[in-house]
Structure 1
Amino acid sequence: MHDQEPAPGRPGRRLSTKETAEALGVKPETVYAYVSRGQLSSRREPGGRGSTFDAKEVEALARRNRRESGGSPGSGGEPAVRTRLTLIDKDRYYFRGVDAVELAARHSYEEVAEWLWTGRMRPGITFTAPDATVAVARRAVDALPEHTAPTDRLRVAAIAAAAEDPLRFDLSEEAVLGTARVLIPTLVAALPPQPFARHHDEGPLAHRLWGRLTGREADDASLRTLDTALALLVDHDLAASTLAVRVAASARAHAYAAVSAGLGVIEGPLHGAASGLAHRMLQDVLERGTAVPVIADELRAGRRVPGLGHRLYPGEDPRARALFALLERVPRAEPALLAARDVVATTARHTPLHANVDLALAVLTVSCGMPATAGETIFAVARTAGWIAHTLEEYGERPLRMRPSGHYVGPRPPQPLPE
């Protein structure tokens, strides 16, 4: 889920994957995750079986990890935030202790969102928004230029919905939950329908979102896959956008503002927009008939292959695994599925990385005639529910606790005034 360019290789002693993992205090799988994030560069030696790594580069990364984590090797310095919402453990993840993949397989997006918010299941619940709120959001979004990206439209819709709500500063749980149940359908309703699409403003959220993503007629298997994708993406622990949301909530920003903070971060190519890169790659593979030249171009340019590897999963991303199983039943999905498998197999010759949820989303969007930005839209709408859950949780913590101190490394004062 990243698009960072790897650091250039430097001459010097080379380390094996095992030696690199030992130096960093991590598992070998994590070494390849560092490569996928652009924090390490690897090289396959002529006649060698595995990748090698520059010793100086490994040493520099180890020093940086120790400095950022206060001496704990391999932790990477990520901040720890107490939460009761999502646990990621090996190749599985859980919402309030319940397997998230099983939840998404048995319940709708709205039901999973309610479970994450309240710890209670409300079978059959759907989210609706007042006509006045939808009208304000649509007017604001319709005023944007035609080429505006979906995430920008969602951000404007969230701001417009906030302006329409005079009670937005009520941070009580009941009020915030009411905001969530209105905001999410408002975001969907504010997106312009695709040409020739039959769009719905009632019923399950996935059905309403479908016509905003594609002009093709919906079938049951595709709608089921879209709804499951939304449910799977509801939350994923402290992703970058979620951390931004918690910082905003720590300052007691209202729920609309906290969601806006998340939407601002999710637009980055290293986060929610990553599926668009995978979408374009799959289209390229389908046009060329094979993944080999496409992957070769990516590696030659020093870019990571989109849709592969995840820092939190040593094996296959469980969200990808669940979606691929559903995509097997989607009409017209077979070519894109084969292209995705070709990408994984071709890349495995260089680096053993598994498919992540971005690749699965790309198969869905390519198969259903959606634009490359559709995966980002699905991601943002889905994750809004998780952001609300984290906002509520943060409101129960000490205000402004998400205020780290800067580690100043500039020139020591006093310095002379600049001329």
Structure 2
Amino acid sequence: MTDQARLTTREAADRLGVKPETVYAYVSRGQLSSERAPGGRGSTFDAEEIEALARRGGRREPATGAGAEPGFRTGITFIDRDRYYYRGVDAVELSRTYGYEEVVEWLWTGELRPGVRFTAPRESLDAARLAVGALPAHASAMDRLRVAAIAASAADPLRFDLSPEAVLGCGRALIPTLVRALPKAGGSERPDRPGDRSLAAQLWPRLTSRTADTASINLLNTALALLIDHDLAASTLAARVAASARAHPYAVVSAGLGVLEGPLHGAASGLAHRMLAEVLERGGAAPVVADHLRSGRRVPGLGHRLYPAEDPRAQALLALLEELPYAAGALDAARDVVATTARHTALHANVDLALAVLTVAADMPAEAGETVFAVARTAGWLAHALEEYEERPLRMRPSGHYTGPKPPQPLP
């Protein structure tokens, strides 16, 4: 490479081992910056930037050709066979040992803050509750969460500050705001669990009218911690795209919530909930599983493409559910589903089935699992936003492959 501060297009292409056209493609996708050469002929490129790109194999991200999947560098979650890790530490062990907020702080900062609690600012909470209260009675919990995020955003004049300190402050305020903006189950006016200021204790009465004991709160706390992040799921990718465009943290969360509401993502636990309820109603899994297979539908709550064996999140939650007497019936129904399906194909329980056992056993609505998922994953989306804010803006700019009529066409 030359010692010049800037390289010509040909020099950049030679250093990267690509054609000049590919160099310009990198520019159009936000993967390289360029400047017009003196005299207006061609473009020049920063030598250090080209060198950094070359060390990564010629582009900032792996190839995304036919059959390939996009990849992003991340230091948040690593999935390896039958385990997953938050910043290198076993996520299941973290979730068993520490509360949700403590695990969130570890994921955000790499530091553990024992006993940390998140607090909703009065201005944001008032705005969120007012907006949520204006929704029709049939509005879903996801409707309420999305509206609460927007209202909290409008109440925060500093939301465009993307410094790490500001984003962390936003997260510590937004997550409890989302929880406390939800109405309590059954219209109850009972105060939150006395003496317990954890997020799990605040969320529980918004999911069910059943009184929570310590074991139940610990279970919900563990579920929240297990669900904070899981690599680049669809909603997390949407959050990173928003952050790449330098959307503020509230907008990043709104992007994640929008994708999470898709029936192929966050709603999966609701499908498993309805299945378990039907198994209990009909007295066995066989007719229920048969109905799913007959109609060509997958049996919900089984299998995960990232885990050839059991989903470690499901293992952890099901083990805790075994300690709750009121969960025995739902647990038996789940085991019956797994055993019945095994006659057709060997699939293990995933986290959606474990959430369904919790929601059915605790008399929660079918959408409760999705609510738990959304609250937990909000912290993960913000962790990815913190990473993405440090990357080149608008780097996720794929090229479209036009398949329409060949131009020029006559004016319609």
Q: Shorter-normalised TM-score: what interval?
A: 0.7 to 0.9
Pick the aligned partner of 2:384 from 386, 390, 394. 390
Q: How do residues 329-368 of structure 1 correspond to structure 2 at under 5 angstroms? A: 329-368=323-362
Give, in angstroms, the shift of residue 69 of structure 1.
Answer: 5.0
Aligned equivalents of 2:403 and 2:106: distance in 1? 45
Q: CA RMSD in A?
A: 1.3
Q: Verify: 1:135 aligned to 2:129, yes or no.
A: no
Give the C-alpha shift of residue 334 in structure 1.
0.5
- Per-residue CA shift, 1:334-392, capped at 9, x if unaligned? 11001001001111111211110000000000000100010000000000000010001
What is the distance in 1 between the residues matched to 2:404 and 2:291?
Answer: 40
Aligned to 1:375: 369
1:73-112 superposed matches below 5 A: 76-112=67-103
Identical residues among aligned pairs (%): 73
Q: Give the superposition deviation at 1:228.
A: 0.2
Residue 410 of structure 1 and its aligned partner are, at CA, apart by 2.8
* Gap change, CA 1:197 and 1:78, over 3 Å in 2: farther
TM-superposed deviation, 1:199:
4.0
Q: Deviations over 1:163-216 (max 9, x none)?
A: 000000000000000000000000000000012473429700000000000001
How does the TM-score come out when normalised to structure 2?
0.82
Kept in 2: contact 1:197–1:214 (CA 8 A): no
- Please state if 1:298 is matched with 2:298: no
Aligned to 1:231: 225
Q: Cα distance, 1:77 vs. partner?
A: 2.6
Match of 2:200 among 206, 210, 213: 206
Select the residue among 149, 155, 161 that pairs with 1:158.
149
Rounded to whole Å, the distance in 2 between the matches of 1:199 and 1:184 is 19
For residue 125 of structure 1, the aligned residue among 108, 116, 120 is 116
User: For residue 70 of structure 1, what is the amino acid of its counterpart?
Assistant: G
Residue type matched to 1:133 in 2? S
Equivalences for residues 50-61 of structure 1 within 5 A: none
* Alignment-derived partner of residue 217 in structure 1: 211
SS at match of 1:93: strand
Correspondence list, 1:292-331, <5 A: 292-331=286-325
Distance 1:415 1:130 in 2: 57
Partner SS state of residue 314, structure 1: coil
Question: Once the two structures are superposed, what CA deviation does each residue of 1:93-117 show, in whole Å capped at 9, x if it has no partner?
Answer: 0000000000000000000000000
Matched, 1:252 2:246: yes
**d(CA) in 1 for partners of 2:397 and 2:132?**
33
Q: CA deviation at 1:154?
A: 0.4
Equivalent residue for 1:404, pick from 391, 394, 398? 398
Gapped runs of 5+ residues in structure 2? 1-62
What's the CA shift for 1:130?
A: 1.5
Choose from 52, 65, 75 the match for 1:70. 65
Contact 1:276–1:375 (Cα < 8 Å) also in 2: yes
Number of aligned positions between the proteins: 347
The equivalent residue for 2:40 is none
Secondary structure (helix, strand or coil) at the match of 1:79 reads: coil
Larger Rg: 2
Structure 1: state its 5+ residue gaps: 1-67
In 2, Cα distance between the equivalents of 1:350 and 1:144?
44
- The structure 2 residue matched to 1:269, chosen from 263, 272, 283, is 263
Residue of structure 1 in register with 2:282 after alignment: 288
Counterpart amino acid of 1:134? L
2:39 equivalent in structure 1: none
Q: What is the TM-score when the length of structure 1 is the normalising length? A: 0.81
Structure 2 distance, partners of 1:197, 1:167, is: 33
